Amino acid sequence: MNSGSSDRTPGCFLNQNWERSVDHISQFGSFMSPQSSSELERGLQRLDHLTEEILPQSHFMDSSGNSQALGGLVIAGNRALAHLDQFPADPGFAARAARFSSFDGQSYGWFSGHFELPGSGKPSTAAIIQSLTASGLQIGHLECNRQIPVSDGLQSKMNSAGPAISREETSLSDPISASNAKKRKAPSRSREKGAASPKPSTDPPKVADEEDSDTKRCRSSEKTHEIGIDNVKPKLEQNDGARSNGNDEQKQRKEGNDKPCEPPKDYIHVRARRGQATDSHSLAERVRREKISQRMKLLQDLVPGCSKVTGKAVMLDEIINYVQSLQRQVEFLSMKLATVNPQLDFDNLVNLHAKDMIQLCGSLPNSAAYSSEMSMVSSYADVPQQRGILHCIATNGMDFHCAVNMLDTTGHQDLNAHQASLGGFGDPSSQQGFFWEDDLQNIVQMGIGQDQEIVASSHNLHGGTSQAAQMKIEL
């Protein structure tokens, strides 16, 4: 790769450091087992520093020898590109970034066909985004990094490492953690602006803000993968301090009561406001009332057409109506399903599941992402890819599933050997088995399984290639 003369000296420096880092990363073996995440962090941090200093990434390609190193490079490139997005547009930057991310090993043959290099050396952020999302796709496919999942349609939204993290954000279900993340957005904005000011970029506050808030949200949910950005690291401690829901609730309430943050305890500290009674009963009563009003506010957002209504009684009325209508809707839908059902047989259920994944994904905010991925994958019609995509979509949800599913299953009924061999995901569905249809089981396990399960299920899947082919066509 021929780089500018001005780049040569730092380039050589980069090359040397790069080889070291690459060796370090390539030691990880089969990529991204959780144990190696800490090593990866260190390696990535080093890479981050390296790439922050120096713009050209041509040396990425020079030194990458194997696909494992490439995986590390791709991830590092993601982060690097995230930083470099704030950099001044480099004429060859987009081209190099594109080439870098499209430089793929044997396993990513499908990807290069999809990717297009920008013809002129224009520093289009679209190319950067494309490369980012493409490498994000690769990473998702590697299943190495839960936090840089597959996402394609976020080009309009993000032009930084956002694609990886904003998907985390949309799948966050807890309203409290979401509101907490919103709270943290405000103080971070000023910090990110300060960091981004020396480097002109297309829209620094928006990008930086979104990236920052998204990285923080990412951190609040996942602790294992921590890519160190210097200006975001201090916030990490903040997030760790306010981890549990109870803590967050108390903190919010306390801030509503004009009180500074207090250490997490079982009982609630409340300070009486000026001009109000200080005896314990009214304080407790006030706390209770504020809790209730907070819940009412949340319900107000949830129930449609309740934003203008004030007062408990009317709100409750609306809530009751809404719950009744939802219950009636469920009844009606189950009736419709009963009429449709005669045509339903197990084969259809198998195909159905794959399509439903798409539909479910389609109903989410970043629906365009998944549907476009699905079409992309189906156009290549490669079974391993499908498995990978389905798995990617499922695993990102699985992280939250661990948190959401609080049914503590103490044991798993090993109903058949295949299930037993799979990593024992603490899931009620692992206890099923009486009426498992083999193909459905494979696909479901595919969806909810963890990394190693994909390998195990591949045998069964190859056995049922006709089903898979049908799935392909349905897609």
Residues 420-439 that bind other proteins (CB under 8 A): 427-429, 431-432, 434-437
DSSP per-residue string spanning 145-178 = -TTS----GGGGT-SSSHHHHHHHHHH---HHHH
Q: Which is nearer to other proteins, 112 or 348 (by Cβ)?
A: 348
| Residue 447 interacting with other proteins (CB under 8 A) | yes
- Residues numbered 376-395 forming contacts with other proteins, rule: CB under 8 A: 380-381, 393-394
Choice from 359, 375, 416, 421 touching other proteins (CB under 8 A): 359
Residue 343 sits in the site that holds other proteins (CB under 8 A)? yes
Give the interface size with other proteins as a residue count (CB under 8 A): 98
Non-local (6+) Cβ contacts of 258 within 8 A are 271, 273
Q: Compute the distance between CA of residue 137 and CA of residue 309 in angstroms, rounded to an integer.
A: 45
The reply to whether 203 sits near other proteins by the rule CB under 8 A is: no
Q: Is residue 316 a contact residue for other proteins (CB under 8 A)?
A: yes
Comparison of 106 and 410: residue with beta carbon closer to other proteins = 410
13 contacts other proteins (rule: CB under 8 A): no
Q: Given the complex with other proteins, which of 406 and 417 has the nearer CB atom? A: 406
State the virtual CA torsion across 253, 258, 261, 266 in degrees, nearest 10.
Answer: -40
CA 104 and chain centroid, separation: 23
Quick one: which of 336, 328, 387 has its CA closest to 357?
A: 387
Among the listed residues 319, 376, 424, 438, the single contact to other proteins using CB under 8 A? 319
Q: What is the DSSP string of 17-60?
A: HHHHHHHHHHTT-SS--GGGHHHHHHHHHHHHHHHHH----HHH
Nearer to other proteins, 119 or 304 (CB): 304
C-beta of 297 vs 459, nearer to other proteins: 297
Q: What is the end-to-end Cα distance of the chain in Å, rounded? A: 40
Would you count residue 330 as binding other proteins (CB under 8 A)?
yes
344 near other proteins, rule: CB under 8 A? yes
**Helical axes 465-474 vs 451-463, angle rounded to 10°:** 100
| Token output for 100 | 């870098």
Nearer to other proteins, 264 or 397 (CB): 397
CB 415 within 8 A of CB 450: no
| Residues 114 to 173 in contact with other proteins, rule: CB under 8 A | 171-173
Q: What residues from 272 to 291 belong to the interface with other proteins (CB under 8 A)?
A: 279, 281-282, 284-285, 288, 291
Q: Using the rule CB under 8 A, is 1 a contact of other proteins? A: no
From 65, 230, 346, 459, residue interacting with other proteins (rule: CB under 8 A)? 346
The reply to whether 261 sits near other proteins by the rule CB under 8 A is no
For residue 333, give both structure tokens: 């839908």
Which of 474, 418, 475, 473 lies closest to 446, judged by CA?
418
User: Using the 8-state DSSP alphabet, how is residue 358 labeled?
Assistant: H
Distances in whole angstroms, Cα of residue 222 to Cα of each of 134, 148, 219, 228, 240 = 23, 12, 5, 14, 10
CB of 11 to other proteins, least distance (A): 42
Which residue number, 12 or 473, has a Cβ lying nearer to other proteins? 473
Q: Which of 30, 202, 244, 324 is the binder for other proteins (CB under 8 A)? A: 324
Report the distance separating Cα 137 and Cα 102, nearest Å.
11
Q: 2, 35, 278, 334: which one contacts other proteins (CB under 8 A)? A: 334
- Min dist CB 222 to other proteins, Å, is 13
41/249 with CB nearer other proteins: 249
In angstroms, the CA 19 to CA 39 distance is 16
CB of 264 to other proteins, least distance (A): 20
Token couple for 216: 């923080």
CB of 410 to other proteins, least distance (A): 7
Does residue number 361 form part of the binding site for other proteins (CB under 8 A)? yes
Is the CB of 5 or the CB of 276 nearer to other proteins?
276
Which run of H or of E encompasses 379?
Answer: helix 367-380
Q: What sign for the dihedral angle of Cα 360, 366, 368, 370?
A: negative
For residue 271, state whether it binds other proteins (rule: CB under 8 A). Answer: no
Considering the complex, state which of residue 228 and residue 397 has its C-beta at the smaller distance from other proteins.
397
Q: With H, G, I as helix, E, B as strand and everything else as coil, classify residue 274.
A: coil
User: Is 406 an interacting residue with respect to other proteins (CB under 8 A)?
Assistant: yes
Q: Which of 7, 174, 262, 414 is the binder for other proteins (CB under 8 A)?
A: 174
